[in-house]
């Protein structure tokens, strides 16, 4: 009787979009997958939730995983225009710097996208309430053991697998075991952000004014550039406006394992007063009427020299923390997962290391350049000094300077890895 082929097994640390995407990609490749996530249940909402933009390749990959292509369309809005414009708050005027009408992204709310991906997984793949503690690789490098704490019972368990996938974010403990001296790099600015739900008040003065000032809301990603600051603005499904305002400031002191800061009512009022001096009245009203705005401290890191070791691999923000200006974080995570899945599908389980080396050779050069470009784009839009580059001034900027603001100038913007073709 012919011996059946053993099914390979992977443990994914982190149940955010990067980890859930890896589960989809590896299951499609024929692997068994367990996702360890310390939160105790699937998110039903996101207190610090925000919007994100999905590029055409990510849309295609998500469609292939959820098997219901119309669902992604129903849960997102089109972003067919990428527009950068200057705003003079003092004069209450604005003018277009660069406009791309062939953008072809879609706007998603984080919690909506996560729910869509999670519900498309088989039951039992994600182990909620399991806090990853540590891992060890066998002496012969054939397997890896992940140690996890079951939070409900306080029990410590071991999971033995062929592969450990670190999808545990920009503060990845797994990355730290390989690069103990590697630190995040503070960008020089923070992001105030929020989502205004106007479903119960579509005809308010604020919404009518906003849509008059930004007539392509609902299909346009607006970048509004002021003096030493900028705001990203776009609409989400179900009558919600997502905004992100970047503010140059010294690095704040973070508490705990998060780049999201708790903000006081005094901090919010200071932010409102600052907005009054810089932005158009329509933007100021949007900011003032948003409940529970929050602050993210913006970091990236110098590109890593490697992201695979024997049977351990980094994906998503664990592999390449990035600033948000190129809309790459979620898209890079989804593409990481898809490429990893295809590389593993081509190899037998005993050749996992070969698959991981191929994954690294495909993704590392791309993500490294995209991280550095996103950094540069953020500095330009924030009016920060760059080597061999004068601070960007929207009043004196040349046409070439303005073209550089567009998303499509991102390295590998149109690239599809051959392994996915």
pLDDT, one tens digit per residue, over 76-114 is 999 999 999 999 888 889 999 999 999 999 999 999 999
What the chain holds in terms of domains, given with CATH numbers, is 9-70+112-183+301-390+409-420 (3.50.50.60), 77-104+185-300 (3.30.9.30)
**Cα separation, 107 vs 105, whole angstroms:** 7
Question: Per residue of the chain (421 residues), what is the pLDDT tens digit?
Answer: 344 467 899 999 999 999 999 999 999 999 999 999 999 998 876 545 688 999 999 999 999 999 987 999 999 999 999 999 999 888 889 999 999 999 999 999 999 999 999 999 999 999 999 999 999 999 999 999 999 999 999 999 999 999 999 999 999 999 999 999 999 999 999 999 999 999 999 999 999 999 999 999 999 999 999 989 999 999 999 999 999 999 999 999 888 778 888 889 999 999 999 999 999 999 999 999 999 899 999 999 999 999 999 999 999 999 999 999 999 999 999 999 999 999 999 999 999 999 999 999 999 999 999 999 999 999 999 999 888 778 898 888 999 999 999 999 999 999 999 999 9
**Cα separation, 278 vs 400, whole angstroms:** 25
Q: Note the pTM of the prediction, 2 decimals.
A: 0.95
**Cα separation, 281 vs 303, whole angstroms:** 40
175-185 b/e (C-beta count within 10 Å ≥ 16 → b): beebeeeeebe
Q: Of the candidates 419, 107, 407, 148, which has an alpha carbon nearest to the alpha carbon of residue 237? A: 107
Q: Of the candidates 147, 149, 169, 150, which has an alpha carbon nearest to the alpha carbon of residue 159? A: 147
Cβ(86)–Cβ(394) below 8 Å: yes
């Amino acid at each position: 009787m012919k011996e059946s082929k053993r099914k390979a097994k992977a443990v994914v640390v982190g149940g955010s979009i990067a980890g859930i995407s890896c589960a989809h990609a590896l299951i499609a490749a024929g692997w068994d997958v367990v996702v360890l996530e310390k939160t105790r249940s699937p998110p039903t909402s996101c207190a610090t939730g925000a919007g994100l933009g999905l590029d055409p390749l990510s849309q295609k990959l998500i469609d292939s995983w959820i098997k219901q292509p119309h669902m992604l369309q129903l849960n997102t809005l089109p972003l067919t225009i990428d527009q950068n414009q200057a705003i003079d708050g003092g004069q209450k005027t604005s003018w277009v710097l660069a406009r791309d009408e062939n953008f072809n992204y879609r706007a998603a709310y984080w919690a909506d996208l996560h729910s869509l991906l999670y519900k498309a997984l088989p039951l039992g793949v994600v182990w909620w309430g399991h806090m990853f503690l540590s891992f060890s690789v066998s002496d012969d490098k054939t397997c890896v053991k992940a140690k996890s704490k079951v939070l409900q019972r306080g029990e410590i368990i071991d999971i033995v697998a062929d592969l450990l996938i670190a999808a545990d974010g920009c503060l990845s403990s797994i990355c730290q075991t390989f690069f103990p001296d590697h630190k995040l790099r503070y960008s020089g600015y923070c992001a105030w952000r929020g989502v205004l739900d106007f479903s119960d008040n579509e005809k308010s003065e604020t919404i009518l004014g906003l849509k008059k000032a930004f007539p392509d809301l609902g299909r346009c990603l607006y970048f509004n550039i002021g003096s030493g600051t900028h705001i990203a603005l776009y609409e989400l499904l179900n009558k919600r406006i997502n905004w992100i305002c970047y503010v140059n400031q010294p690095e704040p002191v973070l508490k705990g394992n998060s780049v999201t800061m708790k903000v006081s009512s005094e901090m919010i009022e200071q932010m409102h007063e600052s907005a009054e001096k810089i932005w158009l009245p329509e933007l100021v009203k949007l900011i003032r009427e948003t409940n529970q705005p929050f602050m993210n401290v913006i970091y990236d890191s110098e590109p890593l020299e490697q992201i695979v070791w024997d049977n351990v691999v980094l994906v998503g923000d664990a592999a390449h923390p990035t600033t948000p200006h190129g809309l790459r974080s979620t898209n890079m995570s989804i593409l990481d997962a898809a490429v990893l899945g295809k590389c593993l599908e081509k190899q037998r389980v005993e050749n996992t290391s070969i698959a991981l080396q191929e994954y690294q050779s495909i993704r590392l050069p791309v993500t490294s350049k995209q991280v550095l470009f996103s950094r540069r784009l953020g500095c330009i839009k924030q009016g920060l000094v760059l080597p061999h580059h004068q601070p960007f001034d929207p009043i004196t900027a040349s046409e070439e300077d303005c073209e550089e603001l567009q998303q499509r100038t991102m390295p590998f913007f149109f690239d599809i890895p051959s392994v996915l073709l």
